[in-house]
Structure 1
Amino acid sequence: MTKRKEVLQKHPYSIWFSQKEERWYTHVPFMWSESKKKRINRKNKRDLEDEIVAYTLEYEKLTEKKKSDSYLINLSFEELFYEFMDYKTREVSSTTIRRMMADWKKFYEPHPEFIQKPFLDITKIDMDNFFNDVMDEYKLQKKAFYNMCGIAKQVYEYAIDSDYTDKTPYRNKVNRKKFTPTKKPESSTQVYTDEEKELLCQEMERRLQNNPQSTACLAVMLDFELGTRKGELLALSLRDIKRDRIHIHRQLVERFDTSDLQNMKSLGFFVVEYTKSADGDRWLPLTKRAKELIQRTIDLNQKYGFRYKEYLFVGRNGVLTPDAVDAQVRRGCKQIGIPVKTMHKIRKTYASKLYHNGVNVSVVKDVLGHADEATTLRHYIFNVESQKETDQLVRSVLEEKPENSLKGTAGDLKIIYFPEIKKPGNPENTRLPAHN
Structure 2
Amino acid sequence: MNIDDVRMREMVNNMKREIILKNHPYDIFLSTDNRYHTYVMVNDKRKPIAKSTKEKVEDALVQFYKENEAKTQSTLKTLYPEWLDYKLICTNSSNTVRRIDNDWNKYYVDTDIIEIPLAKLDYITVDKWAHSIVKERNLTQKQYRNMALIMRQVLLYAIDKGLIIESPYERIRLSGKIFAKTSKKQSSTQVFLTDEQPRIEQEAYAEFYTTGNPVSLAIPLAFQTGLRVGELVALQYSDIEGEYLHIQRMEVRIPHKDTDGWELSNTR
- Name the TM tier (shorter chain): 0.5 to 0.7
- Superposition deviation, residue 66 in structure 1: 10
Unmatched tracts of structure 2, length 5 or more: 4-62
Counterpart CA distance in 1 for 2:125 and 2:248 is 47
Indicate conservation of the 8 Å contact 1:81/1:155, yes or no: yes
- Structure-2 residue corresponding to 1:195: 195
- Structure-2 residue corresponding to 1:152: 151
Counterpart CA distance in 1 for 2:245 and 2:224 is 12
Counterpart CA distance in 1 for 2:156 and 2:235 is 39
Counterpart CA distance in 2 for 1:126 and 1:233 is 50
Asked if 1:271 is matched to 2:260, the reply is: no
Amino acid at match of 2:209: Q
- Structure-2 residue corresponding to 1:109: 109
Indicate conservation of the 8 Å contact 1:201/1:221, yes or no: yes
SS of the aligned residue for 1:90 comes to helix
Counterpart CA distance in 2 for 1:199 and 1:223 is 14
- Structure-1 residue corresponding to 2:167: 168
- Cα distance change on mapping 1:204 and 1:258 into 2, 3 Å: same
- Structure-2 residue corresponding to 1:77: 76
Amino acid at match of 1:111: T
- Superposition deviation, residue 161 in structure 1: 3.2
Indicate conservation of the 8 Å contact 2:98/2:255, yes or no: no
- Superposition deviation, residue 209 in structure 1: 0.7
Counterpart CA distance in 2 for 1:145 and 1:248 is 39
- Superposition deviation, residue 65 in structure 1: 9.6
- Cα distance change on mapping 1:226 and 1:177 into 2, 3 Å: farther
Amino acid at match of 2:128: N
Counterpart CA distance in 1 for 2:94 and 2:182 is 28
Aligned pairs for 1:318-329 within 5 A: none
SS of the aligned residue for 1:194 comes to coil
- Superposition deviation, residue 191 in structure 1: 0.9
Per-residue CA shift, 1:329-383, capped at 9, x if unaligned? xxxxxxxxxxxxxxxxxxxxxxxxxxxxxxxxxxxxxxxxxxxxxxxxxxxxxxx
Give percent identity, aligned residues only.
29
Counterpart CA distance in 1 for 2:66 and 2:160 is 15
Which structure has the higher relative contact order (CA within 8 Å, separation 6+)? 1
- Superposition deviation, residue 165 in structure 1: 3.5
Per-residue CA shift, 1:238-269, capped at 9, x if unaligned? 67679867446533305344224xxx253x54
Indicate conservation of the 8 Å contact 1:65/1:71, yes or no: no
Counterpart CA distance in 2 for 1:109 and 1:270 is 30
Counterpart CA distance in 1 for 2:120 and 2:141 is 28
Counterpart CA distance in 1 for 2:160 and 2:226 is 42
Counterpart CA distance in 2 for 1:65 and 1:206 is 74
- Structure-1 residue corresponding to 2:211: 211
Unmatched tracts of structure 1, length 5 or more: 4-63, 273-436
- Cα distance change on mapping 1:269 and 1:128 into 2, 3 Å: same
Indicate conservation of the 8 Å contact 1:234/1:252, yes or no: no
- Superposition deviation, residue 179 in structure 1: 1.5
Count residues with an aligned counterpart: 206
Counterpart CA distance in 2 for 1:66 and 1:224 is 67
Indicate conservation of the 8 Å contact 2:71/2:164, yes or no: no
- Cα distance change on mapping 1:146 and 1:72 into 2, 3 Å: same
Amino acid at match of 2:145: Y
